[in-house]
Every structure is written in structure tokens, then in C-alpha cells.
Structure 1
Amino acid sequence: MASETSGYDYIVVGAGSAGCVLAARLSEDAGTRVLLLEAGSREPLPAVATPRAWPTLTGSSMDWGDHTVVLDGIGRTEAWPRGRGLGGSSAINALAFVRGHRASHDAWVTAGAQGWGYDDLLPYFRRTENVKGGDPAVRGRNGPVSVWTSTSPHPLSQAAMDAARQVGHPIAADANSGLEEGFGWTELTVVDGKRQSAADAYLLPVLDRPNLDLVTDALVHRLVVDGGRCTGVQYSVGTRMVTAECGTEVVVAAGTVGTPQLLMLSGIGPQDHLRELGIDVVADLPGVGANLHDHPMTTVIYHSMQPLPPFLANGGAEVKGTVRSGPGAPWPDLQLFCAVVPMRTATLPGPEPGAGYTIAVSLMAPFSRGSVRLATAQAGAASVIDPRYYTDSRDLDAMAAGLRAARELGTAQAFDAWRGEEAQPGIDVQDDDALRGYLRRSLRSYHHYAGTCRIGVDDGAVVDTDLRVRGVEGLRVVDASVMPSPISANTNATVYAIAERAVDLLRS
């Protein structure tokens, strides 16, 4: 390959949610040169703009197309879609903009992430968002991300809200304040009927800045580390190899899978694993790729007694609710929502789209932890992803409680006009053993991967509380991989806030 060299103040690897924030904010200073590298295409697929088309993006050119290993106790792999292209996963996800309960953020501080609790992140949540309504003390008014709730909710969504009231769940005045439990209308990243990705909100409006360079279709091969300091990156575009030099800092924002993969390819990670693959060890950090956590999901599926009207937004989940699996739960550790389609794994029978609907439940505080490891030392190769779902029995106990809560919601009077036979798990699945068996058969990922480069102060932490990679100067990580423990919500809104706070840390 031909090679060339260029110099920047900051290099950001990955134009996902965090990368778009970083590039836009850091380039506000006209005297600062910023390079943003993205492995995907500059041009999104047409389906990105249409909220209800998001399921078609899984497996597309805008998805890395990852799968887990064969899951222990489940016996199959699980698809792990993640965004590839401008906006990253914010361009292919289901558009939910959801904040976690404050207690799940404060748990980060308990885990050693001082300065990353709810009160610390609140100004950055507010800086991110443009919200109409809500308490201005906790909600933003002028941020780049405009959020929307459906003004004409699907009749099943209205039924879900009514059912929540009927079975005694609290109705939150603002489910995104981080201060309430219960059910509320879901905020979605939709503007004038179209998806607003991180690229739409942050990056595209500033791409004409002369101090900001965006390179797409750029596969980053490794970070360049010289004398214990990260001085740049090597990447290729087609057959052209480029060494980009950085005078201030390199920021890796490649996501929960991509970030530990790049660190390990660069010799930063667990030394035994790196040596097995013939990679020279730059920094022995055993926590790289460890602490992987995701929100597992299961579903209760009903046949519909009448034809289901078409949906206009994101296919349901216009109402979400948080509940506790039991009195010992540290925060609302279960999320429930109603989807207009029958969400089932391909291995289970059930109604086809248009003939059934779903009450979904996901565990927001799983104890199980997995890992991301390299399969080869080749850049761009798929990683070995092992989430180890349900390997901690407490997760099965909580999810069994969640199934019962989903059934209670689904059998409320508000659904009487819609509810036909229970297709999954089926009325014969009642006792604890049967419920646990169904949980394994029906497992789905909620695609909320996090934790593989966690913040902390112990030997297993990858970054310190300023997001600096331990043992390597001039290198930070800014994305969902730094989350020490799960949050009680979809992850995208929190990634925006992490990135906004990271900008202040980089400037300080």
C-alpha cells in the first residue's frame, strides 16, 4: 500500500453517537484541527430516514453484522447489530431516547467512577437535548437532539398506557427526568417525521468547517504508541495506507465492540490474550474487553382478535414503563413496553406481523458479565463476543418476575378488544422452572452493549475518571464501553451525555 502522513490536534475514531458529538464540539475552536475517521459510508441508506423502517437496517451495509458465540445454556448465537456509517447505531436503532433512573447512574460512583453520578451528568443531558415540556431544571431546551413523542399514538400504545393504570403502575409526569418510576410516553429522535441521528444533530451542520476533516470508508488498523504515548493512528482507505499524527490526544469512540478490538490490536489489553495472537504488548490492561453487559429481553406474544392498524413511528414502544422485580431491587430493574409486531425468535412459533403483538420485558440491571476478544490479529475481522447471558442465576429470577409483570399488563381490561390467545410462552408455562426454560428459548438482545473499557480506579479499570486510558498518555475512550455498570434505560441518550462531558474534560 502507498502511505502518507498528516497531522492533527485531535483524532476521533468512530463517527457514531459519541464521535459525532466530539468532532462537532472540538472543532468549535477554529484553531483546533480535528480528524474524524469512520469505517462506514458517508451516504446513509434511504431507509435510515424512515422511523418505521429501522428493522430493515439490521444486516444491511450500515450494520457490522456481528453475532455472539453459541450461548451457554441457550444453544444458539444471537445477532448483535451495531451501526456502521455516520451516526453509528443512532442511525439504525429503534429511535428511543430514554434516560436511566438516577440510582443506576449513582451506582457508577459506587463502582469507582467518581464524578459520573446523576447530578454530574445532568448538565450534559440537558446540553444534549431540545425538549418541549418537562421541568427545565432537569430537561434541556436548546440542545442539538430534538425529541418527540407521538401525537397520534397507535391504539395498542394507548391500551398499554391504560393497562398500566389499571394494574396499579404509577404514571410518570416525565419518564425521562431520571427521578420517577412508572410508565410514560417514549421520547423518540424524530424531527418532522424523519429520524434524527447523531450525524444529523451534531455532525452534518458543521462539516463545512475548514478545521474538521471527515474520512469515511476508513478502516483503522492500529493506534500508534511511541514511548508510552499515543501519537496517532494508522488507517486504510481502499489500498491507501495513512498514518495520521496527533499532537494532543487520540479519542477512540468505536463502541463497546469496536473500541476494545482496536485497543487490543494496538497491544493494549490482557497480555496473555495478546501474546496468543502474536501482538506485542504495549500496556497490560486485563479489563479491556471484560465487564461486557447487555440488557436481555424476552416477550409475551398474543394473537390479535382484530386486524392491527399500521404503525407510523417506530413500530410500537411508544409507551415504556419501569418496575422493580422485587423489594430488594436497587432501582427499577425491569423495563416493559408494548410492540405492534410479534417480537419472537426465529426458533419459536407464533403469529406473523399484522396478526399479533408483544408485551416485551428487559432486565435493566443484569449481574451477568461477558467479554469481547479478538479472533485474529487482522483489522476488520469479527470479534469473539460472549455476553454470557443468564450465567448469574439472579438474572433469571428477575426476568421470571418480569414475565409475570408482562402477563399482568397484557391481561388487563384495556387489551380486551385486542387480546387473543397467548402464543408465547403459552398458558401452560407457569411455574418457575417452565418460565426459566422459556427465558432461555426466547432470549433476545436489547442491543444495549456496554462496559468493555470501564471507568474506575482498580486494576481492572481501563480508563480513569477523566476517560484517559491507563498506562498510555494521549489516549482516551469515549463511548458506551466506559459504563461501569448497566443503566436502567436504553443507552443512546447516555452516550450523548458522556460525550458532552468528555469534551469538557478534553478542553480542561
Structure 2
Amino acid sequence: MQFDYIIVGAGSAGCVLANRLSENPNTRVCLIEAGPADNSLFVRLPLGIILLMRSNARNWRYYTVPQKALNNRQVYIPRGKTLGGSSAVNAMCYTRGHKWDYDHWAELGNEGWSYQDVLPIFKRSEHYEPGENEFHGTHGKLNVSELRFSHPVSRAFVEAGVEAGHPATDDFNNDVQEGVGLYKVTQKAGERCSVAHAYLHPIMDRPNLTVMTETLVNRVLFDGKRAIGVEVEQKGQIRTLEAANEVILSGGAINSPQLLKLSGVGPAAELAQHNIPLVHELPGVGENLQDHPDALVVHNSLQKDTLSLGPGALLGSLKQVWDFFYRRTGQMTSNAAEAGGFIKSRPEESIPDLQLHLTATKLDNHGLNLGFSMGYGYSGHVCVLRPKSRGSITLRDANPRSPALIDPQLLAHEDDMEGMVRGVKEVRRIMAQQALNDWRGEEVFPGKQVQSDEEIREFLRQKCDNIYHPVGSCKMGNDEMAVVDSQLRVHGMEGLRVVDASIMPTLIGGNTNAPTVMIAEKAADAILGVG
């Protein structure tokens, strides 16, 4: 089994790379995915996210180690385990972050990653249904559309945000970002448009492309400092695949650093602890982990037009099933997190420092608490966009099937905690506006008994979670803790790159799927010598 390029991980980055690198019919490309194919109705169905959050087949269902700042709770981290990766199981919000984020990457010494550099790549990767303009393109593969359905309470939340003094916006991806509105989503004709749907499925019949599912990569193989292939396990059999040009890791911020370490690339002391022969010492592998902390303000609803898992609501959903299957409209096309915004927690902030998502249902523990969602209600998410806390990905042992030890250190930095306190207060203020009067029932979380800053801090210790944007664990840069250079080549190695969200030196101010597509497009340019 010989190839020119082996791509490990068929997520948002891997699918892009498989498409771009196999355009030349003389280039042999192998794309390897640990999970199954994405041929599930619940992947196509936007509201299927509710079930995919609990799936064992297409979700890694990771948990963090106990988080010291969160009363030693272990936090759930869903990650896509199928073709398309997390783009096949996420809430489909299409946001890129603020232009400042990319200019900051460039200021850190990463040439070619400024906003001016990456905006054309964002534009060429998307088909933006509302139309082409200076920020959006219409000739790309990833379909970005307006929601076909939004709950009345989601629209009322946007009105409440305006009443609270925040500007309204119909585009979070311009050069301002600030405002409240309805999210644009990665959907096409009312169905999820995962990165696999956009980039991989249209080219699966290329004879020079091999796609392997349910195949776990145990380690990267080296000749000295050069990557020459991978060892995989498929249906209980160990095989070796050879790469003439490059091995590219696209497993994401959790799996890519784990695989590097299992392969002998990482901190020498940690590898020695697990009796893994050292190939190359890189102390930054697995360090610099960042994620958005997230908290919920949850209300009961006086109206029965929100999403509920109660028996009465499920009986009424038969029409919604009809609308989806025969018209691709209605509640089943909802992305669950329809409304939101990017706002400033205080006037002195130069750019938005908080992100909001409004979910038109009662949520607790990532929706895993199904009993809690039986009634009618709505939940306002708030997250600090640029957390200062830094965590790590370390090995549990030398077994490739053992999940890594994930420690994002959520709210470990005092500024993150104080930002979340301000965020909870602001969501409460929005929730109290007149536009939500017809829905506003009792506040369930934090609850009326929680009022002082210290009471809100304790609520956060008990209930704060993450919103599934892990990045940074193989960071791009030139300092001693950097793992890859600006071309995403692993420092000190040959024929080895990391191309996924793990290369972000700092977490961008928004959802991370669209930036990951951009990262992969830019990496493909570098590999192919174009652009």
C-alpha cells in the first residue's frame, strides 16, 4: 500500500486536503478515518445533533480530567468520529472569528496568516447563498445558507439583544463582527453540509484516492527524522502504509498531539514515562490547549413553541417530520443554536469578547440530561472568546486505543472567570428585555437565589462547561514551544505536517469549523506550491 500522501483523520481539514491533493490524477492520496462512514440520517438531518451528541458510533465522547476550577468536575467533550469529523455532528454555525485574531497570529511571527492573507481563502472555500460581496464568495464548495427555520423565541432573543443596546447584524463574518442576529449555517437545501459532503463525497470515485474508514492509526513510521508511512489497525489486522511525499496529521486538537507522542515526537520525559522510543524532542506537543468555556442561563417558557422532548411535543412533531422529508423545511432543519451574537462585556473592550448562542430548548449537561429537556424553555449560552487559561493533552499510556488525558484548565485564569461572570450578567440583562415577555417563565439556572458576583462564581464552578472548540495543542510558531512552522511542517522533521485546529497559536473569537477549513485550504496551497 504505497501513496504519495497519507492524511490521518477525515474531519474538516482532512476532507479538504483529500480533495485538493487528489486533483492531480497522478498523485496517490490515502485518507484514513477511525470512525465509520457518515451514511446516517442523523448526520443529514440538522436537528439530528440532539442524537449525535449521545452517539457512540460517530462521537468520540471524550471527557476531561477533573477541572480544578470547576469543583473537580469532568467535562464532556464531544468530537466527531466519522467522515466529516466534527462538521458532521456540530451545530453548523458558520463564523470565522474577528480579523484581529488573524492579524495577531501574524504578529506572533506567522507570516502569511494575517486577515488580509486569509480572507481570500475564506471567500474561495464557500458558496455563500445570500450572495457575493467583499467578505463572501459564491464559487466554493462549502455551502453557507440562511436558516430555513427559526423558533419565535430565537427571533425574540435577537430583538431583546437590540433592546439591551447591542447592534443588530445579518453577518457575523464582516470586518466588524459585533452584533446580535441569526447564525448562517453550513447547510444545503435544508440538510447539513458537512465538509465531507462539500469536499469529499463529490470526488470519492477518483481512482487515485483511497478512503479507509474504521481504521485506527497506531503510529507514524520514520526513517531517521523523515516520516515514511503509518501503522494502522483495521478489523483487528495491523498493516503498514507507505508515504512517498508526506504524512499529514488532521486528527484535531486532541488526537493529533496524541498520535505525535505515540510516534515518538514530543516531550522526552513524557515519552520515557511510557517507554516510547524518542524520535524527536518537541516539548510543545500537547501544550497550549485552549477551549471556550460556556455557561447557560436557562428559563422555563410560558409558550409551547420551543423545542421539547416531552410526549406531547413529540406527538406534534409528526408534521415536522413530514415537512423535512417532503419539503426540507420546518423544525427539523433547525441547527438548535439559531440565534446569538458577538458582544462586548464592558465598554473598554476594543472588540467583542463574548459570544452568545440561544438554544430554543431547556439544556443541561450538553443535552445529555434528557429529562431536563422534557418541558418547554430556552437556554442562553455565553462564552469568553479569548480565554487566558492554557491546558494540555498528555498520554494516559502507550496504547493507541486509550483516550488521551485532556486538561483544558477551564476557568483556571482569574480573568476567564471574571469574564464569564460579566457574561452571565449580560445574558440575564438581555433575557429581561420586553421582547421576551411572552416567553419568560422562571429562571432555572443560575436561579433567582444567585445574585452576587461570588454566587455567580460558585454557579460557574458547578455548571460551567465548554462549547467544543479545542485548539492550540500543536501550535504554529517559531518559539521553543511551537510544533509547526507557518507552512504547518513539524519543526525538526521531514515529510510530516499537522493540518487542523491544533495549529492555532491562539483561539479565534468564534466557532472553529470555518477556520479549520481555511487552514486546510491554505496548507494545500503550500503543499502544492500554489497561491
Paired residues of 1:338 and 1:357 also in contact (CA < 8 A):
yes
Query: Higher mean Cα deviation, 198-207 or 422-431?
Result: 422-431
2-side partners of 1:19 and 1:302: how far apart? 39
Match of 1:415 among 429, 436, 451: 436
Structure 1 position 18 matched with structure 2 position 13: yes
The match for 1:317 among 332, 337, 362 is 337
List per-residue Cα deviations over 1:292-313 (Å, max 9, x = no partner).
Answer: 0000100111111121344433
Aligned match of 1:336 in 356, 363, 367?
356
Q: What amino acid is aligned across from residue 15 of structure 1 in structure 2?
A: A
Q: Deviations over 1:402-436 (max 9, x none)?
A: 11110111011000000011111112212111111
Evaluate the alpha carbon distance shift between residue 449 and residue 380 of structure 1 in structure 2; reply closer, same or farther with a 3 A threshold: same
Shift of 1:327: 4.0
Cα distance, 1:414–1:316 mapped onto 2, change above 3 Å: farther
Q: Secondary structure at the match of 1:352?
A: helix
**2:91–2:337 Cα contact (<8 Å) kept:** no
Q: Distance in 2 between matches of 1:156 and 1:403?
A: 19
- Whether the aligned pair in 2 keeps the contact of 1:38 and 1:85 (CA below 8 Å) is yes
After TM superposition, list the pairs within 5 Å mapping 1:309-388 onto structure 2: 309-310=306-307, 311-314=331-334, 316-345=336-365, 352-388=373-409
Tell me, in whole angstroms, the C-alpha distance in 1 between the residues paired with 2:167 and 2:26. Answer: 51
Matches within 5 A, 1:423-502: 423-502=444-523
After TM superposition, give the deviation of residue 351 of structure 1 in Å.
5.4
1:345 Cα deviation from its structure 2 partner = 3.1
Residues 229 and 349 from structure 1, CA distance in 2 versus in 1: closer, same or farther, beyond 3 angstroms? closer
Are the counterparts in 2 of residues 429 and 435 from structure 1 also a CA contact under 8 Å? yes
Between the aligned partners of 1:104 and 1:368, the Cα distance in structure 2 is 17
Q: Which residue of 2 aligns with 1:193?
A: 190
For the Cα contact (< 8 Å) 1:315–1:341, is it kept in 2?
Answer: no
The reply to whether residue 59 of structure 1 matches residue 54 of structure 2 is: yes
Distance 1:348 1:220 in 2: 33
- Letter of the 2:63 partner, please give it: H
Out of 47, 68, 74, the position equivalent to 2:64 is 68
- Structure 1 residue ranges without an equivalent (≥5): 1-5
1:87 is displaced (CA, Å) by 0.5
Counterpart residue identity of residue 40, structure 1:
G
TM-score, normalised relative to structure 2: 0.92
Unaligned 5+ runs, structure 2 = 308-330
Q: Please state how far the C-alpha of 1:328 moved relative to its aligned partner.
A: 4.5
Please report how far the alpha carbon of residue 214 of structure 1 lies from its aligned counterpart in structure 2 after TM superposition. Answer: 0.8
Identify the residue that residue 101 of structure 1 maps to in structure 2. 98
| Corresponding position of 1:287 | 284
Change (3 A) 1:267 1:41: same
Q: CA deviation at 1:59?
A: 3.5
Give per-residue Cα distances to partners, 1:50-87, cap 9 Å, x unaligned.
11120211232101121111111322211111111100
Give 1:49 deviation, angstroms.
Answer: 1.1
Distance of 2:3 and 2:91 partners within structure 1:
35
TM-score (norm 1): 0.96
Q: Percent identity?
A: 41
CA contact (8 A) 1:364 1:489 kept: yes
| Post-superposition offset of 1:325 | 2.2
Q: 2:245: which partner in 1?
A: 248
Q: Deviations over 1:154-174 (max 9, x none)?
A: 101110111122111011242
Contact preservation (8 Å) 1:159, 1:415 = yes
Cα offset, 1:151, TM superposition: 4.1
Which range moved further: 422-431 or 412-421?
A: 422-431
1-side partners of 2:290 and 2:50: how far apart? Answer: 23
Moved more, 341-350 or 353-362: 341-350
- Letter of the 1:391 counterpart: A
Distance across 2 between alignment mates of 1:264 and 1:331:
37
**Distance of 1:396 and 1:71 partners within structure 2:** 13
Deviation, structure 1 residue 191: 1.3
Contact 1:149/1:318 (<8 A) preserved? no
Kept after mapping to 2: 8 A contact 1:67/1:79? yes
Give the counterpart letter for 2:396 in structure 1. Answer: A
Residue of structure 2 in register with 1:3 after alignment: none
Structure 2 CA distance, aligned partners of 1:370 and 1:245?
34
Paired residues of 2:45 and 2:332 also in contact (CA < 8 A) = no
Whichever structure has more helix as a proportion of its residues is 2
Calculate the aligned-residue CA RMSD, in Å: 1.7
Structure 1's consecutive aligned runs of 4 or more residues displaced over 4 angstroms after TM superposition are: 346-351
Cα distance in 2, alignment partners of residues 170 and 313 from structure 1: 27
C-alpha distance in 1 between matches for 2:215 and 2:353:
39
CA distance in 1, matches of 2:496, 2:370: 49
Checking the alignment, whether the CA contact within 8 Å between 2:306 and 2:376 is kept in structure 1 is: no
Query: Aligned pair count?
Result: 503
1:404 aligned onto 2:425 = yes
How far has the Cα of 1:353 moved from its partner? Answer: 3.6
Q: Contact 2:340–2:356 (CA<8 Å) still a contact in 1?
A: yes
CA distance in 2, matches of 1:214, 1:315: 28
Q: Distance in 2 between matches of 1:46 and 1:56?
A: 11
- Report the AA paired with residue 357 of structure 1: Y
Deviation for aligned residue 1:349: 12
2:78 to 74, 78, 81: 81
Match of 2:172 in 1: 175
